[in-house]
Amino acid sequence: MASHPLSERFLEGTQGRLIALLRLGPRTVEELATELGLTRNAVRLQLAALERDGLARVEGSRPSGRKPALVYGLTSRTDFLLSRSYVPVLRALLDALGDRLLPAERLSLLREVGRRLAVGLPRATGNRRDRLAAAGRAVEMLGGRVSAEADGKSTLLIGAGCPLGEVVRDHPDACRIVESLIHEITGVKVQEHCDRGERPRCSFRVE
């Protein structure tokens, strides 16, 4: 499932206002409609969209006249998408590693992180194309997207962006994490040649 773009504009809209209320606690359609000044049908329509995107769910029911009223809450996916902590935490962690470790130790640790990310993912088998496809899926798991381009006897995995783009300008060796991940999956030598300009892009040469 593609990640839901919880932008500021989205959060200011009706679905965003529903999420804001549900963050305070589970609510029924009637309660949401009253607090937002909407009809119950309008709320049901927006809740259905949030359910489809994996952001809201039915958590139970409450007695309400002849028919129990469904109670809606948020999923853990919503908390994840709303969080703004991951990038600053990663940046602070890389800062701390730079202060405490020698360059070679830091590089070794980053490569170990890539190996650990590969744990649980099947080691690619089959021909070269199958292994490259598996590596591409692993990068997509991190939020990136790559395409393969032939370059002599090697293949370049070129990214449409960079899943670590918020930190690689200050910490360029963070790319070694993805490099190590691709190596673990393909079982062949991988070298990063990433673009760390205005909009960072992944680039990995697979031998």
d(CA 183, CA 121): 12
CB 145 within 8 A of CB 171: no
d(CA 7, CA 10): 5
Q: Give yes or no for a contact between 196 and 116, defined as CB atoms under 8 angstroms apart.
A: no
Distance CA(202)–CA(157), nearest Å, equals: 8
- Residue predicted with more confidence, 176 or 131: 176
Type of residue found at 72: Y
Indicate whether 112 and 157 sit together in one domain: yes
Neighbours of 151 (CB within 10 A): 11
Does residue 96 lie within any of the structural domains? no
Mean pLDDT taken over the chain: 89
pLDDT above 90 covers a percentage of the chain that reads: 51
- Give me the pLDDT at residue 4, please: 47
Tell me, yes or no, whether 140 lies in a domain. yes
Q: What percent of the chain has pLDDT over 70?
A: 96
Statement to judge: residues 75 and 112 lie in one domain: no
Rounded to two decimals, the pTM is 0.74
> Are residue 108 and residue 202 in the same domain, yes or no?
yes
* Residues 189 and 125 grouped into a single domain: yes
The domain that contains 34 carries what CATH number? Answer: 1.10.10.10
- Structural domain including 157 reads 102-206
Partners of 156 in beta bridges: 149, 205
Pair 151, 77 in one domain: no
Q: Are residue 110 and residue 200 in the same domain, yes or no?
A: yes
Together in a domain, 47 and 135:
no
Q: Summarize pLDDT for 38-56 with one digit per residue, the tens.
A: 999 999 999 999 999 999 9
In a domain, residue 88? The reply is: no
Q: Is the domain of 46 the same as that of 14?
A: yes
pLDDT tens per residue, range 128-139:
888 888 888 888
Same domain, 155 and 186: yes
Residue 97 inside a domain? The answer is no
- The pLDDT tens digits of the residues spanning 77-125 come to 898 888 888 889 999 999 999 999 999 999 999 999 999 998 877 766 7
112 & 78 share domain: no
Bigger pLDDT: 72 vs 123 = 72
Q: How many of the other CB atoms lie within 10 Å of CB of 202?
A: 28
CB 173 within 8 A of CB 100: no
Q: Are residue 199 and residue 125 in the same domain, yes or no?
A: yes
Domain presence at residue 126: yes
At which residue do the structure tokens 């995995």 appear?
157
Q: Which of 82, 117, 140 is the last residue of a domain?
A: 82
* Cβ–Cβ < 8 Å for 163, 144: yes
48 and 113, same domain (yes or no): no
How many independent structural domains does the chain possess? Answer: 2
Look at residue 89 and tell me if it is in a domain: no
Q: How confident is the model at residue 2 (pLDDT cuts 50, 70, 90)?
A: very low
Q: Is residue 76 part of a domain?
A: yes
Q: Is residue 35 part of a domain?
A: yes
